[in-house]
Amino acid sequence: MKPSPFQINRRSFLTRCAATAAATGLPLWFTERELAQAAAPRRRTLSPNDRPAIALIGCGGMGRGDTGNAMRFADVVAVCDVDAGHARAAAKQFTVEGRTPDTYGDFRKLLERDDIHAVIQATPDHWHTLVNLAAVQAGKDVYGEKPLTLTIDEGRRLVRAVRERKAVLQTGSQQRSDRRFRLACELVRNGRLGRLEQVTVFLPAGLREGPFATAPVPEGLNWDFWLGQAPKVDYVPQRCHTTFRYWLDYSGGTMTDWGAHHNDIARWAIGAEGPVAVEGRALAEPIPGGYTAFSEYEVTFTYAGGVRHVVRTTRDDNIFGGVVKPDGQRNGLRFEGTGGWIWVNRGEIQASDEALLRTPLPDDAPRLEVSNDHMGNFFDCVRSRRDPVAHVEVGHRSASICHLGAIALRLGRPLRWDPTRETFTGEGAGEANAFVAREMRKPFDYDFLDRG
């Protein structure tokens, strides 16, 4: 008797599941569920935005990488950067069939165009909020690089604007669309480790260099516009482009860089808005005249249920690859509970006992939102008008944890935090709350968006 088409399809499906499980190291039960969900027909709302026109604001390497990814779903019609060389390079890269995107030096002018449906925002951190706010106010959807904001106050403002305008905003915390991280968080949320006691986040150490000399501003770079809300200073090559993140004027070091990824996953697994206490300890002081963000440190967050969330830097030379050690000495997260541990990063997931991973969760176990394509999830939501997996509140709350860590390192004392009111309380609150928002250099404050 010949097998029925159903039997053949089922056999093919199981073969594919087994191959995927073997390639990824994920348990077979989890892979079967994932592939079955992916194969199920999805309700799809078609609209004029089915192949939307998009623009890139911030044409460095991250922005060009994000936009190249977005071209699977959209057409690039404009690019913008205060460095004319970056803008020209992006326009050349995204020229398709002789159609070259228009170039801009001021994002406000770009956002005046009615034909642009969404923007990819990949500027340095201190420009994230103003660009995102302007885009939302102009009726555009946003794929915004992490960390979502420079300060906690900026996040509150952005959440309000996105919700009032009913915009779709996806934070570029792409680990929310990674099966390994979702599996780890689902297992923790469902008590697979017993009572969760501690999450340890290992981050790469930052740069500790300096002092640096000033230099002439490169041709084509609008240095004053690049500085934006940050204090006016002479041009120093190490302040600009890739290494901006090691200056507190523009970012928060590795705490807000890689920390924006891993601390987001820690919060996803814990399932809380944020911690109630934080304490930071710098392990190396910045060199005078050099990078100002702490390069090596340890920060401990405590949540209302008693869970500890510890962030530690490591100078492991092989931090981005190779075999992952279960003791956590790599870039990633270790979840520890009364019943064992799980270690996860972008390349591997391990556990103290393989049964912790291999034993299926019950059918009625609570599940986390599924996304296996972060950029694809954004454009799906542009069409459906649903919230993406890393929507604005996700981005704000996870960035806030990073900002709390950076504030604790600057003050070097235990602090209490009210995650509902988003304010410091108790001893030292006045000094700490001064960092919840920052003074913005004029004219690059919130009124700047109305002066385009």
How would DSSP label each residue in 219-286? TTB-HHHHHTTSPP----GGGSGGGGGGSTTT--GGGTTHHHHHHHHHHHHHT-S--SEEEEEESSPP
Q: What local confidence, expressed as pLDDT, does residue 431 receive? A: 98
* 45 pLDDT higher than 90: no
CB 285 within 8 A of CB 295: no
Q: What local confidence, expressed as pLDDT, does residue 179 receive? A: 97
* 121 pLDDT higher than 70: yes
Q: What local confidence, expressed as pLDDT, does residue 11 receive? A: 62
Percent above pLDDT 70 for the chain: 89
State the chain's maximal CA–CA distance in angstroms: 81
Quick one: tokens of 406? 């950076």
In whole angstroms, how far apart are CA 197 and each of 57, 188, 269, 302, 417?
41, 11, 12, 10, 20
- Listed ranges 10-24, 39-53, 118-132; the one with the highest mean pLDDT: 118-132
Q: Please, what sign has the CA dihedral across residues 352, 356, 357, 358?
A: positive
In whole angstroms, how far apart are CA 109 and each of 80, 124, 224, 330, 452?
9, 19, 18, 44, 7
Chain mean pLDDT for the chain: 92
Helix extents (H) in 25-127: 28-39, 61-70, 84-93, 107-110
* 98 φ/ψ sector (left φ>0, alpha ψ -120 to 50, else beta): left
Nearest to 151 by CA among 407, 354, 418, 340: 407
Q: What local confidence, expressed as pLDDT, does residue 322 receive? A: 37
What's the CA gap between 251 and 121, in Å, rounded?
16
Q: What local confidence, expressed as pLDDT, does residue 318 receive? A: 43
Concatenating the DSSP letter of every residue in 304-323 gives TTS-EEEEEEE--TTTTSSP
- Going through 137-182 in order, the beta strands assigned E by DSSP cover 141-144, 169-171
Range of lowest pLDDT (45-49, 52-56, 142-146, 310-314): 45-49
Residue at token pair 């001064």: 434
At residue 257, what are phi and psi to the nearest 5 degrees? -90, -90
Percent above pLDDT 90 for the chain: 84
Q: Tell me: the pLDDT tens digits for 191-203?
A: 999 999 999 999 9
Half-sphere exposure of 1 (CA within 13 A, CB side): 4
Which amino acid is it at 157?
R
Other beta carbons within 10 angstroms of residue 64's beta carbon come to 20
Nearest to 156 by CA among 383, 421, 381: 421
Q: Tell me: the pLDDT tens digits for 280-333?
A: 999 999 999 999 999 999 999 999 999 999 999 987 644 333 334 444 446 999
Other beta carbons within 10 angstroms of residue 344's beta carbon come to 26
Q: What's the pTM value of the predicted model, to 2 decimals?
A: 0.90
Nearest to 223 by CA among 101, 124, 79: 124
Q: What local confidence, expressed as pLDDT, does residue 19 receive? A: 73
Residue at token pair 């002066």: 451
For the chain, domains (ranges, CATH) are: 48-175 (3.40.50.720), 179-365+393-448 (3.30.360.10)
Q: What local confidence, expressed as pLDDT, does residue 315 receive? A: 78
| DSSP secondary structure letter of residue 96 | B
